[in-house]
Every structure is written in C-alpha cells, then in structure tokens.
C-alpha cells in the first residue's frame, strides 16, 4: 500500500491528541464530567443506532459547539480542560476532529479508538458474558 498523504496526516494528528479512549473507558469519562460526542452523519446513526449518553454534534459545527469560549457552545461544555471523546464510525474522522479541538485549546480532547463499530463489538461481547 502506498504511503498516502492522508495516512501521514492522520498519524501526525493522532500524536497531537490525548491518549485514545477504548469502549470500556466511556462510562468513566462521563462519570468524571467528560463528554462523549457522536460526530457520525445521520445516515450512519439511523443505520446503526446511538450510543446512550453521547451528544450528537454535526462535524460541520463541532468547533463552535465544543469551544468553551464560543457563544454557540453547548451547555454541557463547561471548561477547556474537560475530557471530550469524539467518535465516528471507525475512528478515523474523529481523530482529525479531536486534533482540531486540541488546536482550539481543548487539550484533553481525543477520540474513541475504532469508533462506533469498536464500541458495538465491545457492547455485544460484554453483553454475552
């Protein structure tokens, strides 16, 4: 496989963000006042469902809604050091989005390693135990 520019960009951006979260981490993130944010497009949410407790924020308005200094921020956003775990379908676009938040000063922003699909596999595996 060729070394595509997007692969290099993704690797660089992942070095910028806080350590990536696992599906098992999410309940603790929320319990400690952090946010879990679904940036998937509506067709994927309709197809696969929602992750309970996650905020849905469209990628096109993400920075405005999650920047604590923005007049358009969500009420759930309380401070710049708040932990934020973004997720997309498989954990690629969410890494790029989390890096954009870090550049805004949200140093604890990260994403869910493997995205919604990893969470769904984890949920199904833990439910069958």
Whole-prediction pTM: 0.94
Please give the C-alpha separations between residue 36 and each of 24, 62, 89, 100, 117, in angstroms, as whole numbers: 12, 13, 14, 16, 15
pLDDT of residue 2: 62
Taking residue 28's Cβ as centre, other Cβ atoms within 10 Å add up to 11
Provide the residue-wise pLDDT of the chain in tens; the chain has 129 residues.
568 999 999 999 999 998 999 999 999 999 999 999 999 999 999 999 999 999 999 999 999 999 999 999 999 999 999 999 999 999 999 999 999 999 999 999 999 999 999 999 999 999 887
pLDDT of residue 128: 81
CA neighbours closer than 13 Å in the CB half-sphere of residue 82: 22
Residue ranges and CATH numbers for the domains of the chain are 16-127 (3.40.250.10)
- Structure tokens, 32: 């400690």
Which residues are CB-neighbours of 2 under 8 A, at least 6 positions away?
none
């Amino acid at each position: 496989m060729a070394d595509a520019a997007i692969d290099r960009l993704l690797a660089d951006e992942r070095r910028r963000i806080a350590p990536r979260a696992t599906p098992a981490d999410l309940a603790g993130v929320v319990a400690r006042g952090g946010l879990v944010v679904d940036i998937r497009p509506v067709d994927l949410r309709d197809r696969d469902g929602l992750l309970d407790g996650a905020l849905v924020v469209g990628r096109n308005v993400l920075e405005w809604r999650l920047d604590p200094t923005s007049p358009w921020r969500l009420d759930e956003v309380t401070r710049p050091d708040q932990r934020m775990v973004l997720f997309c379908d498989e954990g690629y676009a969410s890494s790029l989005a989390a890096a954009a938040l870090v550049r805004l000063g949200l140093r604890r922003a990260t994403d869910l390693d493997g995205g919604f699909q990893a969470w769904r596999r984890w949920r199904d595996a833990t439910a069958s135990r």
